[in-house]
Chain A
Amino acid sequence: MVPITHYLILALLMFSIGVVGVIVRRNAIVVFMCIELMLNSVNLTFVAFSKQWGNLDGQIAVFFVMVVAAAEAAIGLAIILSVFRAGQSIETSDAAELKF
């Protein structure tokens, strides 16, 4: 079996990639996807720990993360659609009017 540490490092790397994506990308949907990336890496650690300690609570947590992700997708995409309707753009840098 693969030691848990490897899973964790894998998740860490994936999370970091997600972080970089959130910062670098300006397309709101891509930013959204990068957040999904980060969520998934966290899910991976949950399941890995769950296996490590023989405890299903980690998998339950993943289940709830997925619920939240689904809700987030529904609302987030609706917001992105609204933003697009308002400004004909889903670039995050274009939606910078509410800054002061």
Chain B
Amino acid sequence: MAVTFYLMAVLLLLSAVAVITFKNPIYSALALVFNLFVVAGLFATLDAHFIAAVQVVVYAGAIMVLVMFVLMLLSAKLEKASPFSPLYFGAALICGLAFAVTLGLEFDSGFNSAPPASDLQGTVAAVGKVLYSRYVFPFEAASLLLMAAIAGAVVLARRRYRTKEL
């Protein structure tokens, strides 16, 4: 079990680094898809089966497909490569490291390293029961949010006036 986790962890970090280092955004997207699958796997190791499945369906199956779709739509026209900016790279690296280190320091004080005590199973039935009882109003609100997002996307993406052809 532990081996699976560490293997996944390594893959996760590698793919995450790949996301931000690939020059070609399509490769970044592929790396991210892989990353998301690994996250789903990590969810599975935490017995969150439903969330793992939803992760694959929503993230990998919908969001990233959309991203890929847009990338493919635009990629032929995106020849310009971003010039590398050492200033930003350095600043970002320092920022990220400081972030990791300062938050990591907190773990010393806050948590012991005892393994999880609960035998919680995130099955469809279990999650569904909580979702449709305690969280039914947020759930409905989420449906409204999605509706608004659909409407917004349609309005934004519709070509209202003819600009230069894509």
Contacts and interface: CB of A to CB of B under 8 A. Distances in A.
A89 B154 CA distance: 21
A20 interface: yes
B51 A59 contact: yes
A7 B150 CA distance: 34
Contacts, number: 245
A21 B29 CA distance: 13
Please classify how large the interface on chain B is, using the bins under 10, 10 to 19, 20 to 34, 35 or more: 35 or more
Given A9-B104, A90-B74, A47 B43 contact: yes
14 contacts: A7-B42, A10-B13, A16-B96, A17-B20, A18-B20, A19-B95, A19-B99, A24-B85, A44-B43, A63-B127, A69-B58, A78-B152, A78-B156, A91-B82
Interface of A: 1-10, 12-21, 23-27, 29-30, 32-34, 36-37, 40, 43-44, 47-48, 50-57, 59-60, 62-64, 66-75, 77-82, 84-86, 88-91, 93
Interface of B: 1-2, 5-6, 9, 12-13, 16-17, 19-20, 25, 28-29, 32, 35-36, 39, 42-43, 45-48, 50-51, 54-55, 58-59, 62-63, 66-67, 70-71, 73-74, 77-78, 80, 82, 85, 88-89, 91-93, 95-97, 99-100, 103-104, 107, 111-120, 122, 126-127, 130-131, 134-135, 138, 142, 145-146, 148-150, 152-154, 156-157, 159, 163-164, 166
